């Protein structure tokens, strides 16, 4: 049964997401299936490894497998791994498929609503698009994360559909993941909280979010730093259009622009804070180096950059590396392994930052952390949760000044 009802003037673009009852049921199922793979099946696979595979390897070689790649080789023939991979891959694909029909039904209204809000700009934010921008091949060549059409595809003039697909598909992927327990903006809330609590005097006048997409991990900074001039850049026009509408409807003043983060048009030293989340693992190393150099150019003296990412191989166990590197081959993330094998302080110092002013740490996810313990965490008396299990790994630096 179609539950669609007439909404004359939505107050938010997400009101145009009107799945039928069957589509809702499908989303619930896919969400639960993905969660089942990512938690229950993962744990079962790990138990099998620890109880059977690793002891057999130790008996034969006198030591456990030394790397994630070595574990992958041992696990490839194991049903626990094959079933996990098969369910996880298909659940990931279906997450986005659940959003396509509702988007196609409302496509015209989505585009029209985005046009209207962009012309009114009730919150005073801006959207600068550049139709001449060459979207890098590492973005266009494949459907990253198995999102049909990837990050950037456009089908009609002023299209916003791909932005909606990423957002509404993504919601189905987060829905049931108990360990994440946030609405998608949790990384920003967690880093902003850490900045405010660990550096109480730090009050950025202007900030920039790289690979901002819809700005969902940018907008929450405005709650912690209400005066900040907030900028978000991405190469994807439809994601930026969607984000612009979201921010304007939420009354959040954000300045979005379509730019390649490797070469930005902001003046030197314009920002006190540069952030990103889930961004660097999408990039070839050459682009990473150029972007870190841009961060150094764009930061004012004393400014900080804080990038949330997967932790590097060197800080993880062989099992964690095996688990996280799965995405490289099976979730269209070809640069994952290369990124994770880097020495981040070296990369940052090569980009111009003083190595002693660089940092790597895990900040607690404020959606799940017991905030009574936060002072203890800051004092080093309470351990940070693991990345992805109640914490977010971040790396960054403070610019001399
Ligand atoms: C995984 S998404 C991150 C989304 C967002 N930061 C979040 O927290 O959900 C990566 C984003 O980076 C963008 N991107 C990739 N390469 C880029 C580049 N060179 N410059 C700007 N944006 C880029 C993609 O278009 C995509 O929207």
End-to-end CA distance of the chain: 62
**Domain-embedded: residue 357:** yes
Mean pLDDT for all residues in the chain: 94
For ligand 1, whether the C-beta of 136 sits within 6 Å is: yes
Q: Range with the lowest mean pLDDT among 117-126, 174-183, 267-276, 319-328?
A: 174-183
Q: Tell me, using a 6 A CB cutoff, whether residue 211 lines ligand 1.
A: yes
Confidence tier at 1 by pLDDT (50, 70, 90)? very low
What CATH code is carried by the domain that includes residue 318?
3.40.50.150
Token duo for residue 315: 């800080």
Which of 99-108, 139-148, 236-245, 290-299 bottoms out in mean pLDDT, i.e. has the lowest? Answer: 139-148
Whether 334 contacts 142, CB under 8 Å: yes
Contacts of residue 392, defined as CB under 8 A and 6 or more positions apart, other chains included, come to 187, 190, 191, 277, 308, 362, 363, 365
SS in 3 state form for the chain? CCCCCCCCCCCCHHHHCCCCHHHHHHHHHHHHHHHHHHHHHHHHHHHHHHHHHHHHHHHHHCCCCCCHHHHHHHHCCCHHHHHHHHHHHHHHHHHHHHHHHHHHHHHHHHHHHHHHHHHHCCCCCEEECCCCCCCCHHHHCCCHHHCCCCCCCCCCCCCCHHHHHHHHHHHHHHCCCCCCCCCCCHHHHHHHHHHHHHCCCCCCCEEEEECCCCCCCCCCHHHHCCCCEEEEEECCHHHHHHHHHHHHHCCCCEEEEECCCCCCCCCCCCEEEEEEECCHHHCCHHHHHHHHHHHHHHEEEEEEEEEECCCCHHHCCHHHHHHHHHHHHHCCCCCHHHHHCCCHHHHHHHCCCCHHHEEEEEEECCCCCCHHHHHHHHCCCCCCCEECEEEEEEEEEECCC
Q: Is residue 239 in contact with ligand 1, taking CB distance under 6 Å? A: yes
Cα–Cα distance measured from residue 245 to residue 17, given in angstroms and rounded to the nearest whole number: 14
Give residue-wise pLDDT tens across range 359-398.
Answer: 999 999 999 999 999 999 999 999 999 998 899 999 999 9
Q: Is 80 exceeded by the pLDDT of residue 342?
A: yes
Q: Is residue 214 part of a domain?
A: yes
What is the token pair recorded at 324? Answer: 């996280």
The model's pLDDT over 245-290, given as tens digits with 9 standing for 90+, comes to 999 999 999 999 999 999 999 999 999 999 999 999 999 999 999 9
Question: Of 342, 318, 322, which is closest to residue 330 (Cα–Cα)?
Answer: 322
Would you place residue 178 in the very low, low, confident or very high pLDDT band (cuts 50, 70, 90)? very low
- Please check whether residue 15 lies inside any domain of the structure: no
Domain presence at residue 368: yes
Q: Is residue 309 assigned to a domain?
A: yes
pLDDT of residue 86: 97
pTM of the model: 0.95
| Higher pLDDT among residues 241 and 170, named by residue | 241
Q: What does the pLDDT read at residue 183?
A: 59
* Stretch 285-311: mean pLDDT: 98
Q: 356: CA distance to ligand 1 center in Å?
A: 28
Gap from CA of 212 to ligand 1 centroid (Å): 6
- Is 255 in contact with 231 (CB distance < 8 Å)? yes
Cα 179 to averaged position of ligand 1 atoms, centre (Å)? 23
> Is it the case that residue 167 has pLDDT exceeding 70?
yes
Domain membership of residue 310 (yes or no) is yes
Residue 131 burial (10 A CB sphere; 0-12, 13-18, 19+): exposed
Q: At 231, is the secondary structure helix, strand, or coil?
A: strand
Stretch among 248-252, 327-331, 339-343 having the lowest mean pLDDT: 327-331
CA 8 to centroid of ligand 1, rounded, Å: 33
- Confidence at residue 182, expressed as pLDDT on a 0 to 100 scale: 55
pLDDT given at position 360: 98
CA of 31 to the centre of ligand 1 (A): 23
Distance 210 CA to ligand 1 centre (A): 7
| Pocket of ligand 1 contains residue 162 by CB under 6 Å | no
- Whether 8 is covered by a domain: the verdict is no
Q: Tell me what the mean pLDDT of segment 205-223 comes to.
A: 97
**pLDDT digits over 135-155, tens only?**
999 999 999 889 999 999 999
Residue 300 included in any domain = yes
Task: Give the model confidence (pLDDT) of 41-70 as tens digits.
Answer: 999 999 999 999 999 999 999 999 999 999
188 Cβ closer than 6 Å to some ligand 1 atom:
no
Residue nearest to atom 21 of ligand 1 (CA): 234
Whether residue 18 has pLDDT greater than 50: yes
The pLDDT confidence band at residue 9, using thresholds 50, 70 and 90, is confident
Q: Which domain holds residue 379?
A: 186-398
Domains of the chain: total: 1
* Average of per-residue pLDDT across 323-341: 93
Q: Is 217 in the pocket of ligand 1 (CB under 6 A)?
A: yes
């Amino acid at each position: 049964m179609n539950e669609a009802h007439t909404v004359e003037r939505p107050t938010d673009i997400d009101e145009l997401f009107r799945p039928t009852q069957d589509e809702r049921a499908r989303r619930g199922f896919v969400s639960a299936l993905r969660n089942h793979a990512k938690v229950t099946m993962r744990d079962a696979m790990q138990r099998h490894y620890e109880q059977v595979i690793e002891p057999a390897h130790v008996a034969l070689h006198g030591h456990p497998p030394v790397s994630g790649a070595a574990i992958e080789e041992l696990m490839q023939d194991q049903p626990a791994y094959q079933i996990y991979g098969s369910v996880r891959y298909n659940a990931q694909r279906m997450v986005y498929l659940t959003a396509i029909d509702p988007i196609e039904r409302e496509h015209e209204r989505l585009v029209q609503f985005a046009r209207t809000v962009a012309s009114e700009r009730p919150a005073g934010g801006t959207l600068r698009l550049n139709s001449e921008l060459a979207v890098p091949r590492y973005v266009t060549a494949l459907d990253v994360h198995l999102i049909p059409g990837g990050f950037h595809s456009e089908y009609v003039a002023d299209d916003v559909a791909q932005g909606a697909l990423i957002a509404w598909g993504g919601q189905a992927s987060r829905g049931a993941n108990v360990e994440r327990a946030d609405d998608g903006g949790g990384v920003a809330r967690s880093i902003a909280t850490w900045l405010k609590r660990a550096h109480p005097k730090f009050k950025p006048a202007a900030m920039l979010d790289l690979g901002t997409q819809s700005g969902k991990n940018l907008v929450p900074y405005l709650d912690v730093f209400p005066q900040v001039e907030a900028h978000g850049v991405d190469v994807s026009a439809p994601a930026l259009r969607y984000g612009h509408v979201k921010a304007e409807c939420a009354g959040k003043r954000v300045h979005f622009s379509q730019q390649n983060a490797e070469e930005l048009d902001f003046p030197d030293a314009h920002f006190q804070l540069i952030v990103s989340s889930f961004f660097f693992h999408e990039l070839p190393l050459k682009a990473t180096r150029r972007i870190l150099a841009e961060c150094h150019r764009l930061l004012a003296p004393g400014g900080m950059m804080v990038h949330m990412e997967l932790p590097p191989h060197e800080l993880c166990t062989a099992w964690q590396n095996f688990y996280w590197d799965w995405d490289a081959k099976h979730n269209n993330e070809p640069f994952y392994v290369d990124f994770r094998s880097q020495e981040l302080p070296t990369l940052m110092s090569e980009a111009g930052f003083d190595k002693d002013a660089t940092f790597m740490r895990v900040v607690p996810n404020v959606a799940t952390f017991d905030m009574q313990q936060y002072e203890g965490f800051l004092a080093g008396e309470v351990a940070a949760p693991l990345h992805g299990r109640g914490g977010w790994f971040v790396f960054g630096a403070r610019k001399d000044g």
